[in-house]
């Protein structure tokens, strides 16, 4: 099958949707399918993989407690048309098509089987409340709808109409389950260690809550350590840590996927103190696959991933005292940690990409017309309000996959 995947967010800026598209593309290729990805990026030079096509640059806008990329206009539309015409895809699979992005452009321009995955979990989104009626006619062209969680499905139903099948985010379980630990930091041998992965200067990730909780942990476990991996302003972080906690904190900065997996295989407990805006919780699955017991805030998405607390410890969000007690108690109880690690490993296995990719392929099969067909681009005059001829559109330089 020839499959076109569309990522609405900048490929060279790490994020959950980008990882989802990347891993799905790789898994589908391993299964024998031809997969190409259309994506924006901050710099065209960073889109080096021959299976990627550069869709242009985006304008960052605040959305869902983070930053989303807005992309629209004649040049982007021309790139979409060319990608569709040259790709000759059996099916096109867009992600997060409800915002003004390249995903929505594909829905407006493509003619043929379209599948969409919805990731957002903001059920009271003012943006979607305003845009929903305007984008709904274009989204009605989507033949198969997927949501990564019940909460993402709820956004789809409440704001955009229709329904979606729930297929969660995936993880390459084997990649996290097997491999080395961080050098000199084997799990269970040395000071008790808590891990955190994420943008540490993004408020919704909840790191200040964890830092305050660590003061409780250190009182119970004077040699306890906190390993932090992710992007952000290091000076700002150290100012939050303070002199009293600094000897107990190690900042690793932005790490590779291999080093992230090694970190998760090293820590005694993984902590996710997030405050809002999470539609799923991939990092929880990765931690459980790596054998780390998890302590997480009581976001609805996290509670579901942790099987209502059976596969991890759930703590009231934005409550440093409760989080500190939960971490301290778990670090003091190796038997409980082993029990949670075993349950977490079993739960993580159900999110393996090999299983989920087959479910996504089944959705593709439901939208394919009898006898097959090729996704095409609509005539230029059917794209209202944007002139696609003359110098505005031109023939933009576009990076195509090498055959």
pLDDT at residue 155 greater than cutoff 60 = yes
169: nearest Cα among 278, 244, 258, 252:
278
Range of the domain at 360: 2-170+352-392
Among the listed residues 74, 2, 102, the one whose alpha carbon sits nearest the alpha carbon of residue 372: 2
Helices 102-109/74-87 angle, 10° precision:
60
- For residue 402, being part of any structural domain is answered with no
- Show Cβ contacts of residue 72 under 8 Å, excluding neighbours closer than 6 positions: 100, 101, 104, 105
pLDDT category at 273 given cuts 50, 70, 90 is very high
Q: In a 3-state reduction of DSSP, which class is residue 38? A: strand
pLDDT digits (tens, 9 = 90+) for 174-209: 999 999 999 878 888 889 999 999 988 888 999 999
More confident residue, 388 or 293: 293
Is residue 304 a part of any domain in this protein?
yes
Instruction: Give the DSSP H or E segment for 376.
Output: strand 376-377
Shared domain check, 125 and 49: yes
Mean pLDDT calculated for residue range 321-333: 98
Beta bridge partners of 249: 226
Q: Are 127 and 210 in a shared domain?
A: no
* 166, 177: one domain: no
CB count within 10 Å of CB 364 equals 20
> Kind of pairing, strands 144-147 and 59-63?
unpaired
- Are 333 and 358 members of one domain? no
**Torsion angle of alpha carbons 104, 123, 351, 2, nearest 10°?**
-10
pTM (2 decimals)?
0.83
Starting at the earlier edge strand, list the strands of the sheet with 269-272: 249-253, 225-229, 193-197, 269-272, 294-297, 313-315
The answer on 87 and 17 residing in a single domain is yes
Residues 225 and 297 in one domain: yes
Q: How far is CA 44 from CA 10, 54, 77, 228, 397, in A?
A: 10, 6, 17, 30, 10
Tell me, yes or no, whether 28 lies in a domain: yes
Query: What angle in degrees, to the nearest 10, is found between the helix axes of 102-109 and 126-139?
Result: 30
Which single residue is written with the structure tokens 């003619």? 111
Q: In this structure, is residue 397 part of a structural domain?
A: no
Place of tokens 């119970």: 220
Residues 290-303: tens digit of each pLDDT: 999 999 999 998 99
Q: What is the CATH number of the domain that holds 35?
A: 3.40.50.2000
Residue in the structure block whose two tokens are 């195509």: 400
Is 400 part of a structural domain of the chain? no
* Contact between 205 and 211 (Cβ < 8 Å): no
Same domain for 55 and 95, yes or no, is yes
> Does one domain contain both 181 and 280?
yes
Q: What is the pLDDT of residue 70?
A: 62
Domain count, the chain: 2
**Residues 303 and 215 reside in one and the same domain:** yes
The burial of 268, by beta-carbon neighbours within 10 Å (0-12 exposed, 13-18 middle, 19 or more buried), is given as buried
Q: Do 377 and 305 lie in a common domain?
A: no
| Boundary residue ending a domain (349, 364, 383) | 349
Cβ–Cβ under 8 Å, residues 371 and 123: no
Tell me what the pLDDT averaged over the chain comes to: 87
Beta bridge partners, 61, equal 68
Please state, for a pLDDT cut of 70, what percent of the chain lies above it. 86
Q: Are residues 164 and 225 in the same domain?
A: no
The reply to whether 27 and 161 lie within a common domain is yes
Please give the helix or strand (H or E) that residue 195 lies within, else none.
strand 193-197
What H or E segment, with its residue span, contains residue 196? strand 193-197
Quote the CA–CA distance of 141 and 372 in Å, as a whole number.
18
Question: 403 in a domain, yes or no?
Answer: no
Query: Which of 145-149, 180-184, 360-364, 388-392 has the lowest average pLDDT?
Result: 388-392
């Amino acid at each position: 099958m020839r499959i076109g995947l569309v990522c609405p967010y900048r490929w060279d800026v790490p994020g959950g949707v980008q990882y989802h598209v990347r891993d799905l593309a790789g898994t589908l290729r391993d299964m024998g399918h031809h997969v190409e990805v259309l994506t924006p990026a901050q710099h065209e030079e960073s889109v080096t993989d021959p299976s990627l096509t550069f869709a242009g640059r985006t304008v960052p806008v605040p959305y869902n407690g983070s930053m989303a990329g807005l992309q629209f206009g004649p040049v982007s539309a021309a790139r979409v048309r060319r990608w569709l015409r040259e790709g000759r895809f059996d099916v096109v699979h867009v992600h997060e098509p409800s915002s003004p992005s390249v995903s929505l452009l594909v829905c407006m321009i493509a003619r043929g089987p379209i599948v969409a995955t919805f990731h957002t979990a903001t059920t009271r989104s003012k943006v979607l409340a305003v845009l929903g009626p305007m984008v709904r006619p274009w989204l009605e062209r989507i033949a198969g709808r997927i949501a990564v969680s019940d909460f993402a499905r709820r956004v789809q139903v409440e704001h955009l109409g229709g329904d979606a099948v729930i297929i969660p985010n995936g993880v390459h379980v084997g990649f996290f389950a097997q491999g080395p630990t961080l050098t000199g930091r084997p799990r269970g041998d040395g000071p008790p260690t808590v891990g955190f992965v994420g943008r540490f200067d993004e408020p919704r990730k909840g790191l200040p809550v964890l830092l305050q909780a660590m003061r409780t942990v250190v009182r119970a476990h004077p040699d306890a350590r906190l390993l932090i991996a992710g992007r952000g302003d290091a000076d700002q972080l150290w100012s939050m840590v303070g002199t009293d906690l600094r000897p107990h904190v190690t900042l690793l900065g932005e790490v590779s996927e291999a080093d992230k997996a090694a970190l998760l295989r090293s820590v005694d407990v993984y902590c996710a103190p997030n405050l809002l805006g999470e539609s799923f919780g991939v990092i929880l699955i990765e931690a459980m696959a790596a054998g780390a017991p998890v302590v997480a805030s009581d976001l609805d998405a996290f509670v579901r991933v942790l099987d209502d607390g059976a596969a991890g410890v759930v703590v009231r969000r934005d409550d440093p005292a409760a989080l500190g007690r939960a971490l301290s108690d778990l670090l003091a109880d190796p038997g409980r940690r082993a029990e949670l690690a075993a349950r977490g490993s079993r739960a993580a296995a159900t999110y393996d990409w090999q299983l989920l990719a087959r479910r996504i392929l089944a959705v593709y099969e439901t939208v394919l017309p009898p006898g097959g067909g090729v996704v095409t681009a609509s005539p230029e005059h059917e794209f209202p309000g944007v002139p696609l001829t003359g110098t505005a559109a031109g023939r933009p330089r576009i990076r195509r996959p090498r055959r």
